[in-house]
Amino acid sequence: MLRLVVTRTAFALVSLVIVSALIFWCVEWLPGDAASRILGRDATPEVLALLRHKLHLDLPGPVRYLQWLGGAVRGDFGTSLAANQPVLDYVWSRAANTTELAGFVLLLYTPLSIGLGIWTAVSRGRAVDHVASILVILGMCVPEFVVGIVLIVIFAMTLHWFPPLALIDRAHSIGSVLSMLFLPAMTLTIAMTAYAVRMMRENLIEVLDSGYVQMARLKGLPRWRVLVRHALHSALGPALNVTALNIAWLMGGIIVVETVFSFPGLGRLLIDAIDLKDVPVVLAVSLLLTVVYIFCNLLADIAVLLLNPKLRHAG
Amino acid sequence: MNAAAREALTVSGLTVAYRSDAGWLPVVEEASFTVREGEVLGLAGESGCGKTTVAYAMLGERRPGSRVMAGTVLLESQDVLAMPERDLQLLRGARISMVPQNPATSLTPTMICGRQVMEVLEYHRIAAGTAARRRALELLEEVGLRDAPGAFARYPHQMSGGQQQRVVIAMALAARPRVVVLDEPTTGLDVTTQWRILRLLRQLRDRFGTAMLYVSHDLAALAQICDRIAVMYAGRIVEVAATRVLFAAPRHPYTRALLAAVPSLDRPPEAEPALKGSLRRDELPPGCPFAPRCAFALPACAVTPQALVAIGVGHEAACWRWRELDGGLRALAHAD
């Protein structure tokens, strides 16, 4: 287990350097630079040159990357070119908003996917299962911005249950924060749950057909005990792996959903920063998302290891 | 075995069908037999003859896609097949239990073996807490696991097939049931382990007087443990006799062929297999199901239904020609 954590962490550090270099060059390749974006179309060449010099944009790309890397290693992620603020301050406040959203999503996702997974597996072949299967396929193939817009039309425009925009910076009570978070969280939850329910259902059906579940029933154990102690345990492992993949997807989904709901989170920040070619912000946000992704995968692998005695003892 | 011993399990007219494209296809037809207290009854037959379906039906377990069309399974004068789920739960593991074919897949991989034994004690309210733990350890010792505390704490994958089967047997015997159904319990094990498990089962039977229904295709294993053997073909029981009688004087042509198919050192491997062809469920004649493969079949056999008839003390066979075949074969044997 310790070896897994150490090797994964080393691997993560290498990945982060590679990701940062890749993203740096991708943003570099976009036409224009931060100075021209900030000053707009009417800027004179002299003013542009001055701003470029001030932002060190006149230095060659590799030099700027190495400067940034040197700072990042020491925990200094630089200053936002557009906002002239330390990047970290800027990113943290947005990250807090996104964490609230992601937390809410996981709060909805976990019980929903486990509950629906069990329900559809246990009632396989019956009407409930068929209806659920259709909904799951819908949830998987309809893109999240469409789901988001449909939810806005139904619950915000028609029923007026929730606000259409999630401007949580302006919310003043927990109730209003939750009601603003609800629609974007639902949008993300629908797609994530669809994958997890499908996975959970298939695993659980396989486990329910296994010899040991039959044996547990033939021992005279009650149904819930067979389900919880003998079946679920084995079916949860693969579902956890799907959850790790889902969280990777969530990183991307959040960018789209935050745009649909005008949510002031990391995703919006990333899009705005790319627009302004604000390289330090783009790098900081992407690296943060990468770290979260790697960490979630590591957590899922550890959980699978803990759930499966065969793997636990092999390690 | 004492013929006057009470009956522990009485099966009459058991008919089980599986769903197929052509409707319900009977896989077990009119099976009737009894297992007396302390007796081991063998159920022999080729794969696909319906013996496993019979085994699971004893616990009221319907295999997926199957349905009990008729018959009763009486355990202590209660019909298992007519019981609601709730009563079955109280019955299973407590008064009748199962030892399935593959111990590797019968034990839950995520639970230590000791807990799996303890569960039986707890849910049937035999013991709880530390008492259940102690009892589980005793049971693991009882089934011959040398290091019982070690076995208790181990996960199934940390054990050999023989040890796993011992744990399953400990589970099956934990509540001291009257009847244990064993479905090919030694098939996946190597020969020495097989022999040890069979010896253990005999000891447990002698010690606790547990009645056993031992389902197997392995006649050598059946010969070692069974008091009586019922031979099944295509879902029907075609012959029942005491083990010694069945091996010495089989009457049904199928039993004879089955016994002749057992490899032996006394006999050179014959060019022709004793049992021709294979069991084809879709080509069963309306009469004797064995007629298409029977070396002695007359045209009339295929259209004349056969039922078990008493042909000796405790000996029944479902062949109308048993008497003439007997004479003919005896003459053949003398000619050798």
Residues of A in contact with B106 (CB under 8 A): 211-212, 215
Quickly count: other Cβ atoms within 10 Å of residue B238's Cβ: 26
> Domain segments of chain A: what residues?
2-73, 87-314
Q: Is B120 on the interface with A (CB under 8 A)?
A: yes
B328 pLDDT exceeds 60?
no
A contacts of B91 (beta carbons < 8 Å): 220
What residue of B is the nearest CA neighbor of A235?
B110
Q: Do A308 and B59 touch (CB under 8 A)?
A: no
C-alpha distance from B72 to closest chain A C-alpha (Å): 19
Q: pLDDT higher for B172 or A249?
A: B172
pLDDT of residue B336: 45
Cβ-Cβ contacts under 8 Å between A and B: the total is 78
DSSP state of B246: H
- Quote the pLDDT of residue B181: 97
* Model confidence, pTM: 0.80
Work out the pLDDT band at B1, boundaries 50, 70, 90.
very low
Of B267 and B129, the one with more pLDDT:
B129
Position with higher pLDDT, A38 vs B148: B148
Mean pLDDT, residues B184-202:
90
Alpha-carbon distance B241 to nearest alpha carbon in chain A (angstroms): 30
In B, minimum Cα distance to A231 occurs at: B108
| Cβ separation A308–B109 shorter than 8 A | yes
Q: Is the dihedral of CA A52, A54, A59, A61 positive or negative?
A: negative
**Closest chain B residue by Cα to residue A306:** B110
Does B308 touch chain A if contact means CB atoms closer than 8 Å? no
Average pLDDT over residues B53-59: 95
SS3 state of residue B237: strand
| Cα separation values, B230 from B193, B243, B250, B313, Å | 25, 9, 11, 15
| Superfamily designation of domain A87-314 | MetI-like (1.10.3720.10)
Tell if the CB–CB gap between A234 and B108 is shorter than 8 Å. Answer: yes
What number is the average pLDDT over the span B192-199?
A: 91
pLDDT band at B273 (very low <50, low <70, confident <90, very high): low
**pLDDT of B157:** 92
pLDDT at residue B329, as a whole number: 59
A266 CB contacts (<8 Å, ≥6 apart)?
A91, A94, A95, A97, A98, A254, A255, A258, A285, A288, A289
Which pLDDT does position B202 carry in this prediction?
93
Range with the poorest average pLDDT among A69-78, A100-109, B11-20, B223-232: A69-78
Mutate to test the interface with A, among B101, B106, B154 (most CBs of A within 10 A): B106
- Is B171's CB within 8 Å of A209's CB? no
Q: Which of B79-93, B214-228, B295-309 has the lowest mean pLDDT?
A: B295-309
At residue B97 the predicted structure's pLDDT band, cuts being 50, 70 and 90, is: very high
- Chunked in runs of 10, what are the mean pLDDT values of chain A (315 residues)? 83 88 85 76 78 77 84 81 81 87 89 90 87 88 88 89 79 80 90 87 90 93 90 81 80 85 88 84 87 84 80 62
Q: What is the pLDDT of residue B163?
A: 93
Residue of A nearest to B181 (CA): A218
Query: In this model, does residue B282 exceed pLDDT 80?
Result: no
Residues B110 and A233: beta-carbon distance below 8 Å: yes
pLDDT of residue B271: 54
Residues in contact with A285: Cβ distance below 8 Å, sequence separation at least 6, in sequence order: A91, A266, A269, A270, A273
A218 contacts B61? CB cut-off 8 A? yes
Q: Do A215 and B110 touch (CB under 8 A)?
A: no
Say if residue B277 is exposed, middle or buried (CB neighbours under 10 Å; 0-12, 13-18, 19+).
Answer: exposed
Residue B71 neighbours by CB under 8 Å, 6+ apart = B11, B12, B13, B14, B15, B30, B31, B32, B81
Task: Tell me what the pLDDT averaged over chain B comes to.
Answer: 88
Asked if B108 lies within 8 A of A307 by C-beta distance, the reply is no
Cβ-contact B174, B210 below 8 angstroms: no
The predicted complex's ipTM stands at 0.86
Identity (one letter) of the amino acid at B96? I
For B123, the closest of A215, A220, A309 (CB atoms) is: A220
Best B53, B110, B126 member to test A by mutation, with max A CBs in 10 Å, is B110
